[in-house]
A = this chain, B = another copy of it.
């Protein structure tokens, strides 16, 4: 299937349409025949695999192990934790039967009415309940703690309005579920993991994030505290990109998970859970890309360098390709992923546009004059600039250039993000910034859920987080005028 290079909607014309088209045209994902479920195409999956590998290494480096828990959760499990059921047991896929049969009245197959499950099974929207039901059997003594498990899995939430990667009925994610002997240890774990997410977002994805606490309204259902990383997209809307929850003893109490302390007492176990999902793909795409297509940070790009021979006739094609292959071999030896594109049925201009659309960080082009002069053309995807450089030391040059590009992509996103945090002190300013500039609005809030709801109803903006580094500052709530101890970040969001 030829990549469609033309007709990509422009960022400035319709950001939302641009995003949807880009995801499809760049070969990342598409909608499937099943409402709300996506197909992740090979190029998109290759990026996700890179993300998975890096995150998995980070989880293991912080002492976690992987495990796998069932896809299905008995319906009754959700009722055990009071606030969890409100948050998760509503819009979900319900398995009621376990058999189909040939239609006795005609063609096709129908559900066998005699094969009704005694208790319905829910396709997991998140796994706290089934995991804590399992942990009950794993934990008896303080010696069994901590348990530091992670699971890579698919989950299903029956979303009404879906968008590729950002909000789909089925999505892929990881969910860490840890069990601890003390509150302090669990709180430290939740903080440690949100910082792992921050490092991943900033150092690998090149996406700067604000780390903070969610307000009670926006907390995970069943959590005592939710930490979040909040990213800003190029249209000025925020994207919650990963969360880490301190669950207190809520699930331990719901599933009766206790342990014997060193002193011989029985105590409930403390819990955390934390997750990131294929939503990160949406963040990656929206944070950096432009009218020419994707812009991928080198550390997550499936192809880091694309090489295109410029030629007339088969002999030149062979000469150029041979030279490019030898440069490619040097680069591969340095751990760089390279594609030499010697296709003779598309023009080089088509190839250039294709690699731009796909966000390949560096493109090399080599023609007869280069061969003669010992030079090569180097094009950067992030800046869309070109330069002709010497072939001598080209591999080291490219390795260093990839680092520069990684850094530049992050700096550009960071400068934009920082320019889009606006302090306001009145309701009028608040509304005006939201409507004209967007981004994060740093404002005082009286700390009540009622005020947050009222602000959301009036403006569609929510509290994205109370930043970890928020400084104490006396002020007045922009909505009620009541006293406030520090500013929080508001934004409209995905």
> Which residue among A72, A134, A143, A149 has the maximum number of chain B CB atoms within 10 Å of its CB?
A72
CB neighbours (8 Å) of A144 from chain B are: 1
CB neighbours (8 Å) of A72 from chain B are: 34, 37, 93, 170
> Which B-chain residue is minimally distant from A40 (CB atoms)?
B68
Bound-complex Cα distance A66 to B111 (A) = 33
CB <8 Å contact, A39 and B67? yes
Q: Which one, B76, B91, B158, contacts A108 given CB within 8 A?
A: B76
CB <8 Å contact, B100 and A70? no
Bound-complex Cα distance A122 to B95 (A) = 9
Q: Shortest Cβ distance from A259 into chain B, in angstroms?
A: 11
CB <8 Å contact, A98 and B92? yes
**Chain A at the B interface: mostly helix, strand, loop or mixed?**
mixed
> Which B-chain residue is minimally distant from A154 (CB atoms)?
B71
Q: Which one, B74, B85, B170, contacts A70 given CB within 8 A?
A: B170
Bound-complex Cα distance A147 to B85 (A) = 43
Bound-complex Cα distance A72 to B170 (A) = 9
Q: Does A120 contact B (CB under 8 A)?
A: yes
Q: Which one, B33, B49, B67, B94, contacts A96 given CB within 8 A?
A: B94
Q: Does A109 contact B (CB under 8 A)?
A: yes
Q: Shortest Cβ distance from A337 into chain B, in angstroms?
A: 12
What's the tally of chain A residues with a CB closer than 8 Å to chain B? 70
Q: Shortest Cβ distance from A479 into chain B, in angstroms?
A: 32
Q: Shortest Cβ distance from A72 into chain B, in angstroms?
A: 5
Bound-complex Cα distance A96 to B93 (A) = 8
Bound-complex Cα distance A101 to B144 (A) = 37
> Which B-chain residue is minimally distant from A122 (CB atoms)?
B100
> Which B-chain residue is minimally distant from A38 (CB atoms)?
B70
> Which B-chain residue is minimally distant from A95 (CB atoms)?
B93
A107/B94 contact (C-beta < 8 A), A70-B37, A154-B154 known: no
CB <8 Å contact, A41 and B67? yes
Q: Does A15 contact B (CB under 8 A)?
A: no
CB <8 Å contact, B91 and A130? no
Q: Does A46 contact B (CB under 8 A)?
A: yes
Q: Does A254 contact B (CB under 8 A)?
A: no
CB neighbours (8 Å) of A158 from chain B are: 98-99
CB neighbours (8 Å) of A30 from chain B are: 137
CB <8 Å contact, B107 and A79? yes
CB <8 Å contact, B79 and A108? yes
CB <8 Å contact, B138 and A1? yes
Q: Shortest Cβ distance from A419 into chain B, in angstroms?
A: 36
A32-B134, A42-B149, A92-B99 provided; 6 other pairs, C-beta below 8 A? A34-B74, A37-B70, A38-B70, A45-B65, A72-B170, A95-B95
